[in-house]
Amino acid sequence: MDNKLKIRFLGGSSEVGRLGLTLETDGLRMLFDYGLSPGKPPTYPLDAPPLDIIFLSHSHLDHSGMMPYLCSRTETQVMTTNLTREISEILQIDSIKVAKMEGYPVPYSKAEIRASRSSYIDVEPSQIRDIAGTEVHFHSAGHIPGSLMFELRGTRNILFTGDINVINTHLIWGAHPVKCDILFLEATYAGRDHPDRGELEKEFLDKIDEVVSRGGIVIAPAFAVARTQELLMILDKAGYDVWLDGMGKKIAKIFLDYPQHLRAPNKLRKALENVNLVYSNHGRKLALKGEIILTTSGMLDGGPVLWYINKLKEDKRNAIFLTGYQVEGTNGRLLLDKKKIDLYGVVEKVRCKVDYFDFSAHAGHSQLIEFAKACEPEKIVLFHSDDRKPLIDPLSEFAEVYTPDDNEILEI
Ligand SMILES: [Zn+2]
Ligand SMILES: [Zn+2]
């Protein structure tokens, strides 16, 4: 049997977006993830060749966004957790809504999303499946609830990380290294380390305290999937009057249906019980009298957060605490760099305090090196990064490092 590994990225090799990776080995053709980049306009990966099996690491749109397109055109099955399938569907439906609002063509319909359900096979961490003689082991990726790494035990052992985080957060446990010959390592944070999580949480709560004690309100924009729930759990310990609005409410309830993917489901349940949930305009007005408003979207490109910012931005006692990375070109980036925000088409100055807290769900630079070393690979393929260079030298000390571009065929 041909035991060379043939690698081709359909997208996402050198950007944090639209990931798709095909691997051919031991007579098997596989696809890992098939996402989109939800920019203006959205961008998509190259068309996929005929496949034997598809693996989906997690629900974020840059990994899952084009699955319905693929599923409506092939019979190939997709292995992922049920939780990932359920959250992907919500994000895919939302991406259609956003594309329509912004006047971009949509790659698939709601009906195609629903029809693609039958393509999915539920797999869970620590399970093993045999696919045409290759043993596939599933491991938690520690990135968001339901996220997986895939280990293939064939002629050579391969690990595909998807997106990973190695630290334990309130929501989930960090990922553990897996011994392999060839490691496909995400490199989002190549060249950048995160602050210590415990210190960051303390700083976040201290700064909230400053705002609340001077009579202000904190708006904490947060990604709906995982960030919102992590922050809920952090805030629950501090006992503030917290108001939760946006898609994060629905996602929190879905997470609770899958307690096996959470580190402390009871703590999340309790945190959710202790906040005020906002479902109406009346609720939004009440939230303006609270202490913290936790809401979507995380990069301020839509969602209820804009309504709150519009109401609260003039008062210097208030604050907007961004809680995730702000991509170039987003409203959140504009706010962080220039203290300005695009509110329904008009760019306005913001007078309240603005701060950023790095609650990342990705392993940082040094953590990626440590993780890779512990996997003891002969070869490492880096992907999913705007700039993979900073990792090449440190990883080359113990493995051969590859940085293929999209559509380039690499055989190793
Ligand atoms: Zn992700
Ligand atoms: Zn990603």
Ligand 1: distance of its center to the CA of 105 in Å? 24
Predicted confidence (pLDDT) per residue in 173-185, tens digit: 999 999 999 999 9
Q: How far apart are CA 337 and CA 264, in angstroms?
A: 36
pTM exceeds cut of 0.95? yes
* Beta carbons of 147 and 138 less than 8 angstroms apart: no
Ligand 2: distance of its center to the CA of 17 in Å? 6
Ligand 1: distance of its center to the CA of 66 in Å? 14
Ligand 1: distance of its center to the CA of 36 in Å? 12
* Nearest bound ligand to the CA of residue 142: 1
Ligand 1: distance of its center to the CA of 342 in Å? 26
* Nearest bound ligand to the CA of residue 165: 1
Ligand 2: distance of its center to the CA of 145 in Å? 14
Predicted confidence (pLDDT) per residue in 122-178, tens digit: 999 999 999 999 999 999 999 999 999 999 999 899 999 999 999 999 999 999 999
Indicate whether 3 pLDDT > 80: no
Ligand 1: distance of its center to the CA of 156 in Å? 27
Ligand 1: distance of its center to the CA of 362 in Å? 8
Predicted confidence (pLDDT) per residue in 268-309, tens digit: 999 999 999 999 999 999 999 999 999 999 999 999 999 999
Identify the pLDDT of residue 346.
95
- Ion ligand 1: residues, CB within 5 A, are 60, 163
Tell me which architecture the domain covering 197-356 has in CATH: 3-Layer(aba) Sandwich (3.40)
Which residues, 6 or more positions from 308, have their beta carbon under 8 angstroms from its beta carbon?
Answer: 219, 245, 284, 287, 288, 293, 295
Q: Which of 21, 38, 18 is CA-nearest to residue 29?
A: 21
279 class by beta-carbon count within 10 Å (0-12 exposed, 13-18 middle, 19+ buried):
exposed
Predicted confidence (pLDDT) per residue in 203-245, tens digit: 999 999 999 999 999 999 999 999 999 999 999 989 999 999 9
Ligand 2: distance of its center to the CA of 384 in Å? 7
Identify the pLDDT of residue 40.
84
Tokens, residue 136: 């596939």
Ligand 2: distance of its center to the CA of 284 in Å? 32
Ligand 1: distance of its center to the CA of 182 in Å? 21
Indicate whether 7 pLDDT > 70: yes
* Nearest bound ligand to the CA of residue 11: 2
Indicate whether 347 pLDDT > 80: yes
The domain locations on the chain are 6-192+361-411, 197-356
Could you please state the CATH topology (level 3) that the domain comprising 6-192+361-411 is classified under: Metallo-beta-lactamase; Chain A (3.60.15)
Indicate whether 16 pLDDT > 90: yes
Ligand 1: distance of its center to the CA of 58 in Å? 7
Identify the pLDDT of residue 404.
98
* Nearest bound ligand to the CA of residue 35: 2
Identify the pLDDT of residue 214.
97
Ligand 1: distance of its center to the CA of 241 in Å? 30
Ligand 2: distance of its center to the CA of 394 in Å? 22
Ligand 1: distance of its center to the CA of 89 in Å? 15
* Nearest bound ligand to the CA of residue 141: 1
Q: Work out the pLDDT band at 2, boundaries 50, 70, 90.
A: low
Q: How far apart are CA 45 and CA 52, in angstroms?
A: 19
Q: What is the mean pLDDT of residues 253-266?
A: 98
Q: What is the mean pLDDT of the chain?
A: 97
Indicate whether 352 pLDDT > 60: yes
Ligand 1: distance of its center to the CA of 285 in Å? 33
